[in-house]
Chain A
Amino acid sequence: MEKFAKAFPSKPLPSKTAKPWALAGVVGSGNLEVLLERGGRPSGTMECHVETSIPGYKASWLAALADFAHHYPAGGTKVTINDQGAPPVLVNLRLRQAYDHLTKGDK
């Protein structure tokens, strides 16, 4: 297991969201879960906590998270990830799904 945390600059989240938190994905082989929560953080950063079962890929994790924080206004959120070896593309997909759920609701 490898554990790390980092905050990334990001434009502030819209002031109104459909939910206070959203979860996307499941913890299973080659998969991950992303918990996205709003509130309580500086509005200009996306705070990320990652726990992954496959160590040694911190650079690609940080690059993927930084890209997401750059492309989506997610400032003021906290991202917590439980990972069981998901490829970066899935990290990106789950972040987008969680973001959609948070901002627009489940449907």
Chain B
Amino acid sequence: MNTAKSGLRRQNKAQRLAKVGKLARGKFVSSDKVPELLKRIIEPGDILCLEGDNQKQADFLANQLATLDKKDLHDIHLVMSCITLPAHIELFKKGMIRQVDFCYAGPQGTAVADLVKAKKFPVGAIHTYNELYARYYIDLTPRVALIAATQADRKGNLFLAANTEDTPAIVEPTAFSDGIVFAQVNEIVDRLPRIDIPADQVDFIVEAPYPMHLQALFTRDPAAITDVQVLMAMVALRGIYEKYEVQSLNHGVGFNTAAIELLLPTYGERLGLKGKICKYWMVNPLPTMIPAIESGWVESVFAVGGEVGMERYTAARSDVFFTGRDGSFHSNRAMGQLAGHYAIDMFIGASLQIDINGNSSTVSKNRITGFGGAPNMGCQPTGRRHPTKAWLKAGAEANPGPGSPPGRKLVVQMVETFQAGRVPTFVEQLDATDPGIRKALHGVAPVMIYGDDVTHIVTEEGIANLAACRSIAERQAAIRAVAGYTPVGLKRNKRETADLRARGIVQLPEDVGVRPSEASRSLLATQDIKGLVRWSKGLYDPPSQFVDW
């Protein structure tokens, strides 16, 4: 007997579309009809994907969804990159969600921790971005996807502008499995600048009464960079970038790496490193990269998303940024994450907590934030085969055994030993191992970057080369050596530290040619946002909260 299913999904989709009836005119829905339409196209038990990452949000659709009640919508298996909006939390409070699989909950981290404590957060797993996108093609294929685009034309084609981000990774698995794709757009126009999503992958479109929420996530005001961060940036530049000749890389979003970007045209130039390092980037269009780009350091930048205010600048620098035929910036989170996994020499980022084994996390007992994309890049891609200088050099230091790859990606954690308010960064045990959190996550502690993947930790005290350590005890001693005056650091043994320093596993600033007294904000290519605008020759339009002129 033939038990294979045949055409059931397609039939079911047809039934749902039939229920919509005159609520839509073709693909187009007026905004006041959205709650009713959502009721008719979503069924209990559905895997529902709500688009929204750390930058753009299908916020109108999310807000409309949150107006519904449990009787309209229940037993939903929610899949989404980021739990960001109050409306997302509302769905849980109303008990509509049977299970959630997501990546990141930055702005709602405290609310999520509260939901976990109240046992109202039935989580499947916290993922990394590409891991979740991958599951959209395996066992978490959305039945309905609510997405956000900048513009639609009358046929239903979509333009995503600078913020392509997750959209293709959501639309493709949904559209090619007889799922329903519903897009909110800022406006409907006669002619799109370019087509990013073809109309035949889109079922419904609403012109939202307000433009989609866009977070200026990557704008770091140089005015807030401290002398200590400049010191760490100098140490990283000499001890890692210069040493390994790092050509391709990803930078996190913090002030530490912003300091590095702003040192390239000044300190980096003085060291004669231009053309030798930092040529190929997988990073969003960071405003703090403008001086390095204008000084000719950067060959190319591919991004997982856009950045508010960088539209005119990126369009004008199309030799560096990826742009469409229309001339405007293009991003893609899935492909960017893939590039960050396989194609770069180095990932460098910060963390809130690092334990004595080098594991790091941004989770605290009262705040569950998740991962985002950092672990996709902050890990060893053992599937990698192509060699580069940095990869081979780091690999040789790690002394690979007969069963390991010859190279290593540089995975660098750059942190001050204390966070604001004298909270130590270095701890014996991560808050992420809290039993309550682990239980909610089916026994898995939410570790951002595993100690085994980390090659270096940079602090204001110096560099610990974890890849060069030959035992767990040695790794712990190296971490204590750069943990400063935190309780973890105070436990270091002077003789052990001296021995690690003699072997080059621990390096103080002076060991890599940096004089701490030289570390000063005056070394930065510019000290404020206005300076970035000046560097960009007026092409950068910073968000208003950063403008004081």
Direct contact of A and B (CB under 8 A): yes
B92 at the interface (CB under 8 A from A): no
Partner among B231, B418, B490, B517 whose Cβ is within 8 Å of the Cβ of A97: B517
A93 at the interface (CB under 8 A from B): yes
0/1 string, A79-105, CB within 8 A of B gives 1: 000000101111011001100100000
A64 at the interface (CB under 8 A from B): yes
Chain A residues with CB under 8 Å of B422's CB are 54, 57, 85, 87
Whether A93 contacts B228 by the Cβ 8 Å rule is yes
A1 at the interface (CB under 8 A from B): no
A74 to chain B, nearest CB (A): 16
Interface residues of A in 6-41 (CB under 8 A from B): 30
B331 at the interface (CB under 8 A from A): no
Whether A89 contacts B484 by the Cβ 8 Å rule is yes
Whether A88 contacts B418 by the Cβ 8 Å rule is yes
Whether B485 contacts A90 by the Cβ 8 Å rule is no
B402 at the interface (CB under 8 A from A): no
B47 to chain A, nearest CB (A): 46
B166 at the interface (CB under 8 A from A): no
Instruction: Sort chain A's interface into a size bin.
Output: 10 to 19
Partner among B460, B490, B519 whose Cβ is within 8 Å of the Cβ of A60: B490
Chain A residues with CB under 8 Å of B461's CB are 89
Whether B484 contacts A88 by the Cβ 8 Å rule is yes
Chain A residues with CB under 8 Å of B417's CB are 87-89
Partner among A85, A89, A90 whose Cβ is within 8 Å of the Cβ of B421: A85
**In the bound complex, what is the Cα–Cα distance between A100 and B518 (angstroms)?**
12
Partner among B416, B485, B519 whose Cβ is within 8 Å of the Cβ of A64: B485
**In the bound complex, what is the Cα–Cα distance between A60 and B212 (angstroms)?**
48
A89 to chain B, nearest CB (A): 4
Interface residues of B in 342-381 (CB under 8 A from A): none
**In the bound complex, what is the Cα–Cα distance between A64 and B484 (angstroms)?**
9
Nearest residue, chain A, Cβ from B418: A87
A100 to chain B, nearest CB (A): 6
B215 at the interface (CB under 8 A from A): no
Whether B517 contacts A89 by the Cβ 8 Å rule is no
Chain A residues with CB under 8 Å of B486's CB are 60
**In the bound complex, what is the Cα–Cα distance between A93 and B418 (angstroms)?**
15
Whether A93 contacts B516 by the Cβ 8 Å rule is yes
Binding site for A on B (CB under 8 A): 227-228, 231, 416-418, 420-422, 460-461, 484-486, 490, 516-517, 519
Binding site for B on A (CB under 8 A): 30, 54, 57, 59-60, 63-64, 85, 87-90, 92-93, 96-97, 100
A-B contact pairs, 27 of them (CB 8 A): A60-B485, A60-B486, A63-B490, A64-B485, A85-B422, A87-B228, A87-B416, A87-B417, A87-B418, A88-B417, A88-B418, A88-B484, A89-B416, A89-B417, A89-B418, A89-B460, A89-B461, A89-B484, A90-B228, A92-B516, A93-B231, A93-B517, A93-B519, A96-B516, A96-B517, A97-B517, A100-B517
